[in-house]
Amino acid sequence: MKFITYNINGIRAVIKKGFLEWLKATEADYICLQEIKASADQLDLGVFEQIGYQVYWYPAEKKGYSGVAILAKHKVNRVQYGLGIDQYDREGRLLQIDTEEFTLISTYMPSGTTGEIRQGFKFQWLDDFYNYIANLKQKVPNLIISGDYNICHKEIDIHNPTKNVNTSGFLPEERAWMSKMMDSGFIDTFRHFNKEPHHYTWWSTRSGAREKNLGWRIDYHLASQALENRLKRCTILSKVYFSDHCPVLLELN
């Protein structure tokens, strides 16, 4: 069973670049998208149905901003849009589906790069999201949280840890939060299989950062410990260029 998470930075832009053809070729069972940046009335969602997917779409209220989606090939028992906290749900930051086997979340966590106000918003989100997941995990043993976390966990996950030590996305408090998530019973599925450096999922569009592989690993599939014996592989698809991010593929037995 294949899962892909991908911050596409605008669904309409990537469709023009051949995204649908690539998506079909992946034969993925579940696709978690972030930064869809479009409401359902701004594009034809039927294009996903034509290649075999049920579409669950959760845009932000603000046009051209944020939003998440899940595309699913298999039966979905329940869908939840948002955390139930208005300040986040207006920005379309969490979408959850429940199946017979597992619960899957697509999330786009806030960035704090625009200043103190948004960094404070991000810290509040991290607290509220952690509490939400802690409660959910008591009910759902098989849980996969996929998306753009906007945090590099460890020094190995960023090209210049010394320079970025005081940069949003690599702040000590953010990194500690990621550790707390792991300690609460989650597996960083990419690091479960790969301990090597220089693997990233986002690159600045300036100064040829992607060509030089000067990136950040901020996109994750976290899986609950109950799924450990089903993990088959997790790989970063760094040669896929539809966005300033790249997709991450998780396979389960």
Residues known to be catalytic: 148
27 backbone dihedrals φ, ψ, rounded to 5°: 55, 35
> What type of residue sits at position 230?
R
The answer to whether 243 touches 14, Cβ cutoff 8 Å, is yes
Nearest by Cα to 142 from 180, 186, 80: 186
